[in-house]
Amino acid sequence: MRHDSHLYDQEDTQLYQTNLYSGTNADIANVELFAGDIDLTIMLGAAIDFRFTASGAVDDLELALYKRRDNDWDDDEIAVWSVTIASDGTEDIYHFTIDPTYGAGHYRFGMASSGGTDTFDMDAQMRRWRNTREIG
């Protein structure tokens, strides 16, 4: 019998972390900031958890996923996916999976506030995975 399962990296990789979450990255305002490179040239996918808190309840969080064949980012890439997440000013968690349908390559997330009123503190972590098959 075959079972599809995932083999994950041993540890999470920190992609972005502001001071509220003990990091040193800048708070997210209405100018897009980018999280670290996600190398999926060998691994098949990645699970990303975004934990964030807004400074108020006016603006929403905008996330966009960008892709390149290499990690030579030049900031003119077109997003392959984007979402606006409604925020009420309390801590929220958003989960996203980059699965094999996105294809091999390098990825990164752009993050911005939807307006000029609120900023966001962010803790974004990623764990890459690959499929394994067990026969039994």
Q: Distance between CA 43 and CA 128 in Å, rounded?
A: 7
* CA angle, 18 then 22 then 28, to 5°: 5
Residue 74: other Cβ atoms inside 10 A? 6
Averaged over 81-90, what is the pLDDT? 95
Query: Which residue matches tokens 């349908």?
Result: 101
Whole-number pLDDT of residue 35: 96
Domains of the chain: residue spans and CATH: 2-135 (2.60.120.680)
Q: Distance between CA 24 and CA 106 in Å, rounded?
A: 23
Task: Look over the chain and give the mean of its residue pLDDT values, rounded to a whole number.
Answer: 90
Question: Where residue 4 falls among pLDDT bands split at 50, 70, 90?
Answer: low
Whole-number pLDDT of residue 110: 97
Residue 62 half-sphere exposure toward CB, CA atoms < 13 A: 15
Classify the C-alpha dihedral 83-114-77-11 as positive or negative: negative
* CA angle, 102 then 99 then 48, to 5°: 115
Q: Cβ neighbours of residue 37 under 8 Å, at least 6 residues apart?
A: 71, 73, 106, 107, 108
- pLDDT tens-digit series, residues 89-134: 999 999 999 998 999 999 999 999 999 999 999 999 999 987 765 5
Question: Where residue 1 falls among pLDDT bands split at 50, 70, 90?
Answer: very low
pTM score: 0.88
- Per the model's pLDDT, the better-predicted residue between 136 and 66 turns out to be 66
